[in-house]
Amino acid sequence: MKDYIEITKPLCKDKPNFNNLEIISNNFKTGSSCYNIKGVHKMTVIHNEENNLLKIKGSIPYFVNGQNFFTTNEDYLTGIDYLENILNVKLTDAFVDNFEFGKIVEVKDKANLIINNHFAPPGMKPSIYTNGKYFENSNFLLKLYNAKENIFRKLDTMKQKELEIMGFNRNNEYVKFEVKYKKPYLTFNSGILVADLINNIIEERIEENFMYQYNSIMKRKSVVIPSNKKDLSAGSIILLSLEEVALNEGKTAKELIYSMLKQIPNEVLNKEDKKARQKQIRKMLGTIEASPGSRFDLSELLQKTMNN
């Protein structure tokens, strides 16, 4: 789903209508005037008379519906149409300066647990915010957050009830992954117009890049938890924990344990003692199996949303 957007429209001979807008400020040094367009939530319009440019920014799903949990391309079209009508300016040929694209998935684990086990891709700066994580560089801002908490934090009770009628379940867990394309002209090797977004001309390329960005995020590796109680002694649980930590450091529990065994002086454990300990350790490690992927990986769930 497309969400926040910033666009620039060279006006040429167009004469925008600002009569129905709320003026926020005038900057006489830059020749710019700032307005709000009222919707369910506001959009911002900046008119630079000197450069004959019109800039518009805001979340179209929030502008049209007051939420971004359930939204469609038709909602996006409705938002653009309304902006064109109230401003009396064609916007489909406006340039897209940046935009956001995201997907929400329902998850079995706690959303915060999943989010906390995602880590910054190489070359990206991580940061934590109210209910999720950011990973950022000069071209992208990747957002991973708890979509349910976002609803409870931003929306009033009436809007929450509307979402429940539409299918939102407050007892379930939801994670949203979102990419802000800060420089889409670099990412997609060409300038993007509003028409390209609303007509889904580059939708496939956006979805491919979206999945690429998600897959670049590091996820905590995990071990398979034995289903048999007898394989879960206190010692086995310690080994399971050690193996999981080791996996995420690019090592194995066996390497760490054998390294420690070598450090024990021969006066304490002689050669035969160490061989005996190694045999016991190998037997215990035989019950441990690394998971083929990460239990926190959302790629399959995200991919399914593309195919719906």
Longest dimension (CA), the chain: 92
- Burial class for 267, CB neighbours closer than 10 Å (0-12, 13-18, 19+): exposed
Dihedral over alpha carbons 262, 263, 265, 271 (to 10 degrees)? 0
pTM across the whole model: 0.84
50-81 pLDDT, tens digit each: 899 999 999 999 999 999 999 999 999 999 99
Q: Which residues contact 217 (CB under 8 A, 6 or more apart)?
A: 118, 119, 120, 121, 135, 142, 144
pLDDT tens-digit map of 98-156: 999 999 999 999 999 999 999 999 999 999 888 899 999 999 999 999 999 999 999 99
Segment 8-32 shows an average pLDDT of 86
pLDDT over 90 (residue 169)? yes
Predicted pLDDT of residue 281? 82
| Whether the predicted pLDDT of 33 surpasses 80 | yes
How many residues comprise the chain? 308
What's the token pair of residue 80? 């653009």
- pLDDT for residue 290: 73
Report pLDDT digits (tens) over 260-289.
888 999 889 898 888 888 888 888 777 777
Q: Nearest 5 degrees, angle CA 215-CA 250-CA 238?
A: 110
Asked if residue 308 has pLDDT above 70, the reply is no
307 by Cβ neighbours in 10 Å (0-12 / 13-18 / 19+) ranks as exposed
- Domain ranges for the chain, please list them: 1-91, 99-219+296-308, 229-285
At 250-261, the pLDDT tens digits run 777 888 888 888
Least-confidence region, from 123-127, 201-205, 285-289, 297-301: 285-289
pLDDT of residue 50: 85
Rounded to 5 degrees, what angle do the CA atoms 41, 183, 123 make?
110
Using CA atoms, how far apart are residues 139 and 81, in angstroms rounded to an integer? 29
